[in-house]
Structure 1
Amino acid sequence: MSEFILRTNNLTKKYKNDFALENVNVSIKKGEIYGLIGQNGAGKSTMLRLVTGLSFPTDGSIELFGNDHPSELTEVQKRMGAIIENPALFPNMTAYENLEVHRLQKGIPGRSCIQNTLELVGLLDTGKKKAKNFSLGMKQRLGLGIALLSDPEFLILDEPTNGLDPMGIVEMRELIKRLNHEKGLTVLISSHILSELHQLATSFGIIHKGKILEELTLKELDEKCKMHVRVKVDQSAIGATVLEDTLSTTDFEVMPDGTIKLYKYLNDVRSVSQALTNNGLVIEHLSQNGDSLESYFSKLVGGVDID
């Protein structure tokens, strides 16, 4: 059985002469919360629509649960739940009635799944209150309930915190985390709010103008943004030895190009410089580096801010 829930191979969607997606390659492992981050219009919703079968690619392929044949995709898409754009709710029905309609449409046997789902998303006590009178947060949770009704293995959410107040965002985030931890649910979630995804996702895909610029884990993202002293000397191996022996630290890493990232001595760069020169090394570069998450993403997409 494949360790990947989703893989795309050069996935492309073109409208007339414009590419909404171009040669997108994404890999999502079982159990991950994968954050697809990009500005509005970057291609996030287009990709989610292709994965869920709401649209079809111009070129490239999609593999779900190890299956990539079109007839197989139609079948395995039943193992997914999704909210694409706004949840499809019946405003004059209660939460229970909304789930009942979707249960019948999906052919799910028995009504016990409705009570279980309402409890899961925190809407069990809404009684006869109609969806049109729900707060935005409640509507989002009802939409999530609809996506969870069939007990999916893979959940796809398109901007699920859009328009929510701070408390609603926290509630949605904690619910998604709980689903991931307790039920082992794999989640693909798109957003243009980097700070929110950073608190939720375990891996990331950065999309800009229909192209994936980078895929990285949460650990890799944090490492890229971690403050450090960037050191470049003429002999990196000796430089590493000096840091260990003279400055008594192993909290550094030597990069493939020979640059050393030193995570200590952030406020004492002079001692670093002195130790290296005293040992006969030529310093080619010495600076303090590190990005905020927002500035890192901004640099990656060419200086454009992401909220």
Structure 2
Amino acid sequence: MNITTERLGKRFRREWIFRNVDLTLQAGSSYTFVGPNGSGKSTLLQTLAGVLPASEGTIRYTHEGNSLEVDNWFRHLVVAAPYLELIEELTLLELLTFHQSFKPFKNQLTSEQLCELMFLTHARHKEIKAFSSGMKQRVKLGLAFYSEASIVILDEPTSNLDKQGVAWYQERVRQLSGQLLLIGSNQPDEYDFCPNVIDISRWK
């Protein structure tokens, strides 16, 4: 799965967050977008994901040379970010089962098995609203790591994680293969394995 942008730009009122973004992001590769706080990393990732509409330019999604319809784009990607909300009234097992109805887990993992991989078996019957911020972030990352999707987008992935959670992230993210991985970060230990680091300030 590839993403290609041409002269992509995003504006809020009169301020351009980024402009003239020309990128080719290739399947099986990883890319990290860096820049000062407020520089537009999250906005760019949300635009690439189709969550936010572009103000100008084009985004093209292709699979094996064939263009994908924008309406079907969501089926091919997963996103983990601190600002994304989980359904807090569900228990962890209920949330994982609900998620599977949209995107199956890799290697036919069950919800119980995913709880174990996230080290959250003890909390599987708890409602998400009772989780700490670190536990919620681990759930978001677990869904991103273990869902069947061609593209994984991680924005500030270790936000709210303790030292054990950061180690868990670092081990799991290095195990991703064959997918297009996009990261937004200012923390080198979140992306030190990534060969393609892009400073978003170049598009200001």
Q: TM-score, normalized by length of structure 2?
A: 0.82
The reply to whether residue 91 of structure 1 matches residue 88 of structure 2 is: yes
CA contact under 8 A between 1:5 and 1:28: conserved in structure 2? yes
For this pair of structures, how many residues does the alignment match?
201
Taking the aligned partners of 1:27 and 1:119, their CA distance within structure 2 comes to: 36
Residue of structure 2 equivalent to 1:189: 183
Residues 103-142 of structure 1: matches in 2 within 5 Å?
A: 103-104=100-101, 106=102, 113-142=110-139
CA contact under 8 A between 1:12 and 1:19: conserved in structure 2? yes
Taking the aligned partners of 2:148 and 2:50, their CA distance within structure 1 comes to: 19
Residues 127-206 of structure 1: matches in 2 within 5 Å?
A: 127-147=124-144, 150-178=147-175, 180-181=176-177, 184-193=178-187, 195-206=188-199
Alpha carbons of 1:55 and 1:198: their partners in 2 closer, same or farther (altered >3 Å)?
A: closer
Residues 1-307 of structure 1: matches in 2 within 5 Å?
A: 5-66=2-63, 72-104=69-101, 106=102, 113-147=110-144, 150-178=147-175, 180-181=176-177, 184-193=178-187, 195-208=188-201, 211=203
RMSD across aligned positions (CA): 2.8
| Structure of greater Rg | 1
Taking the aligned partners of 1:20 and 1:87, their CA distance within structure 2 comes to: 21
Alpha carbons of 1:25 and 1:84: their partners in 2 closer, same or farther (altered >3 Å)?
A: farther
Taking the aligned partners of 1:24 and 1:97, their CA distance within structure 2 comes to: 40
Amino acid at match of 1:170: A
CA contact under 8 A between 2:2 and 2:25: conserved in structure 1? yes
Gaps of 5+ in 1: 213-307
Q: Which runs of 4+ in 1 moved over 6 A?
A: none
Alpha carbons of 1:202 and 1:125: their partners in 2 closer, same or farther (altered >3 Å)?
A: farther
Alpha carbons of 1:61 and 1:117: their partners in 2 closer, same or farther (altered >3 Å)?
A: farther
SS in 2 for 1:35: strand
CA contact under 8 A between 2:138 and 2:161: conserved in structure 1? no
Amino acid at match of 2:183: I
Taking the aligned partners of 1:151 and 1:187, their CA distance within structure 2 comes to: 13
CA contact under 8 A between 1:9 and 1:62: conserved in structure 2? yes
SS in 1 for 2:94: helix
Amino acid at match of 2:192: Q
SS in 2 for 1:53: coil
Taking the aligned partners of 1:108 and 1:163, their CA distance within structure 2 comes to: 26
CA contact under 8 A between 1:62 and 1:68: conserved in structure 2? no
Alpha carbons of 1:120 and 1:186: their partners in 2 closer, same or farther (altered >3 Å)?
A: farther
The structure, 1 or 2, with the larger RCO (C-alpha pairs under 8 Å, 6+ apart) is 2
Alpha carbons of 1:127 and 1:65: their partners in 2 closer, same or farther (altered >3 Å)?
A: same
CA contact under 8 A between 1:23 and 1:211: conserved in structure 2? yes
C-alpha deviations, 1:194-249, integer Å up to 9, x for none? x22442322111112x717xxxxxxxxxxxxxxxxxxxxxxxxxxxxxxxxxxxxx
Alpha carbons of 1:163 and 1:107: their partners in 2 closer, same or farther (altered >3 Å)?
A: closer
Amino acid at match of 1:189: I
Alpha carbons of 1:129 and 1:163: their partners in 2 closer, same or farther (altered >3 Å)?
A: same
SS in 1 for 2:11: strand
Deviation at 1:134, TM superposition (A): 2.9
C-alpha deviations, 1:148-184, integer Å up to 9, x for none? 5641111001111123233322221211112x14xx3
C-alpha deviations, 1:59-80, integer Å up to 9, x for none? 11112235796x7132233111
Gaps of 5+ in 2: none
Taking the aligned partners of 2:7 and 2:149, their CA distance within structure 1 comes to: 26
